[in-house]
Amino acid sequence: MCGITGYIGYRDAYPIIINGLKRLEYRGYDSAGVMLFDGTQINLSKTKGKVSVLEEKVNNEISNKGVIGIGHTRWATHGVPNDVNSHPHISQSGNLVIVHNGIIENYNTLKQELKTRGYTFKSDTDTEVLINLIEEIKTEHNVKLGKAVQIALNQVVGAYAIAVFDKTNPDEIVVARLGSPIAIGVGKDLKEFFIASDASPFIEYTKDAIYLEDEEMAIICQGKEVKVRKIKDDTLVDTDVQELQMNLEQIEKGGYEHFMLKEIYEQPRAIIDTYRGRLLREKGIIKMSGVEDNMGKFLNAERIVIVACGTSWHAALVAEYLFEDFARIPVEVEYASEFRYRNPVLTEKDIVIAISQSGETADTLAAIKLAKERGAFVFGVCNVVGSSIARETHAGAYTHAGPEIGVASTKAFTTQITVLSLMALRLARAKGTMSSSKYRHYLQELELIPQKVESLLKVDDHIKEIAKKYMLSNNCLYLGRGYNFPVALEGALKLKEISYIHAEGYPAAEMKHGPIALIDDRMPVIVIATSKGHYDKVVSNIQEIKSRSGKIIAVVTEGDTIVREIADHVIEVPETEEAFTPLLTTIPLQLLSYHIAVMRNCNVDQPRNLAKSVTVE
């Protein structure tokens, strides 16, 4: 989980690479580096820290001239983040340079072999081993870079997206992928090419992109068509040049202080984009081709198993309530990382749904592969079009949230719940577990959610005031029941990941089985107490907190009077069906975390130790 960029063409490569790295920083930001070839020599600079630190270093250290180059922003796996372990890595001869996203699992064996042949290593990384392996093969077999890369990758176990440059043949860059994404932007008349982990670094230059599939490689050379080959046996693959749908505006902050805030505010639009063309209220139907085409499988499924990680796992928990409640299909929700390693019982009658914003999460991908091996039908819910998970699954439905850049997921969560609500409703209708009048009512309610989210965003200043009071807290408890239990988990995750305050989410009724011991007058407790979801029971839980002097921030339905009497603060959300309340109650929790993190001077969009897509296990 790192970001890689590259350029070969007629423009100055440096600004393209450096701006590209800034856009890819969501993938990792503990160190960064760049290599430029000025026609004669390699200029390389790398450093611990963010791309802005690299920029300063480049200004002071090296020439930034050249029309060919590669760059990297890192999330450390092998070796601590420091200057030496940063990418690019250079081979022993100084001729070959590589940037790499992924992990070479057998690097130690390869390293020992290379040491016996006289190679020495400066860094602790698997990547430096790979570039020297390529060099050794190139010399030993007397072949060009492309062939050497191919032979080397056939000896490697692990995952990679790589871009490799050879000073002795400086007109090309070799790229390859297995398990980590790589996109090639194709410039007008083949005069220039862009390389990146996703298309965001080159969106203003070209709309034509080639996405390598796993086990594919390409040699990129100015003026020549890109030929994609299988790494294993060198066979040529049909090259599919896709037209990008993304635009520049979508990946910029658009006047907001942080991407996270922009993405919170984008939710009304993102939810509409997600149900557009699917929720046809006037006709009283839901159309989802991925579901329609596989309706037989869904109707015969004995069980749905949902695999996901992090926020997507919380959306999966909401889906458990939705599918069971609406369509009466038994659901199990699994952490992808646990599922893949515990020999799960799966049959051809199971449907596995994989949820992922990025579509690149390694654990979720591995869980999908396992489910497929066991014969299950796998359905993906992803945001990133063409991502690995979207390609690996048998069928799926995209959320149309648009690029999510802030590391903390916001609009991904609400759009995932939107897709899952549509699916649950569609299946309920097909199975006859919901009456047509109730179905129509739910369609109407779901259609109204974006405008309710919009109205909720207007209470941001009130939430900011609450944030001021609790910004110095050390701990925080989030409680919710039923559909809002996953929201409590999600609220706690948001707070801890961006403000570094310890927070825990619990089903409200579980409080008395342990967490109640934590409550004193310094403990803020955020309770979701909407009018329809076991309201009276949650009110009792609030009383229990109050009698132990806990500070209560309650998220209630508009017009609530009972909780208002007891709680220290209330945040009102518009009324809706209980099943859709997570789409509303999650918004104030996102804003609360955001404001607390800003007030604590935390790096909201790039919290410490995290990365946007976790492509390592």
Active site amino acids = 2, 612
Minimum CB distance to ligand M6R smaller for 390 or for 614: 614
Q: Cα 439 vs. chain centroid, distance in angstroms?
A: 32
CB 588 within 8 A of CB 456: yes
CB 354 within 8 A of CB 380: yes
Report the alpha-carbon distance of residue 45 to residue 98 in Å, rounded. Answer: 13
Minimum CB distance to ligand M6R smaller for 267 or for 312: 312
Output the smallest distance, CB 336 to ligand M6R, in A.
8
252 φ/ψ angles, rounded to the nearest 5 degrees: -110, 165
The torsion region of residue 539 among left (phi > 0), alpha (psi -120 to 50) and beta comes to alpha
Q: Calculate the alpha carbon distances from 499 to 174, 263, 461, 489, 602 in Å.
A: 41, 17, 19, 15, 6
DSSP string for 249-274:
GGGS-TT-SSHHHHHHHTHHHHHHHH
Minimum CB distance to ligand M6R smaller for 484 or for 590: 590
Minimum CB distance to ligand M6R smaller for 339 or for 439: 339
Q: Calculate the alpha carbon distances from 404 to 27, 199, 495 in Å.
A: 12, 13, 18
DSSP collapsed to 3 states, 281-328: CCCCEECCHHHHCCHHHHHHCCEEEEEECHHHHHHHHHHHHHHHHHHC
Output the smallest distance, CB 490 to ligand M6R, in A.
8
Output the smallest distance, CB 250 to ligand M6R, in A.
17
Q: Report the residue number whose CB is nearest to ligand M6R.
A: 310
Report the alpha-carbon distance of residue 404 to residue 586 in Å, rounded. Answer: 17
Minimum CB distance to ligand M6R smaller for 446 or for 610: 610
Output the smallest distance, CB 149 to ligand M6R, in A.
29
544-548 LR contacts (CB < 8 Å, sep 24+): 544/511, 544/512, 544/516, 545/511, 545/516, 545/519, 548/516, 548/519, 548/520
Report the alpha-carbon distance of residue 583 to residue 188 in Å, rounded. Answer: 43
Minimum CB distance to ligand M6R smaller for 36 or for 355: 355
Helices and strands per DSSP (H, E), number in the chain: 20, 27
Q: Cα 17 vs. chain centroid, distance in angstroms?
A: 22
478, amino acid identity = Y
Minimum CB distance to ligand M6R smaller for 64 or for 312: 312
Minimum CB distance to ligand M6R smaller for 121 or for 256: 256
Contacts (Cβ under 8 Å, ≥6 apart) of 252: none
CB 34 within 8 A of CB 247: no
Output the smallest distance, CB 613 to ligand M6R, in A.
5
Binding positions for ligand M6R, rule: CB under 6 A: 309-312, 356-358, 361, 364, 407-409, 493, 497, 610, 613-614
Cβ-count burial 388-408 (b if 16+ within 10 Å, e if not): bbbebbbbbbbbbbbbbbbbb
Minimum CB distance to ligand M6R smaller for 274 or for 358: 358
Give the three-class secondary structure for 443.
Answer: helix
What's the Rg (C-alpha) of the chain?
Answer: 26
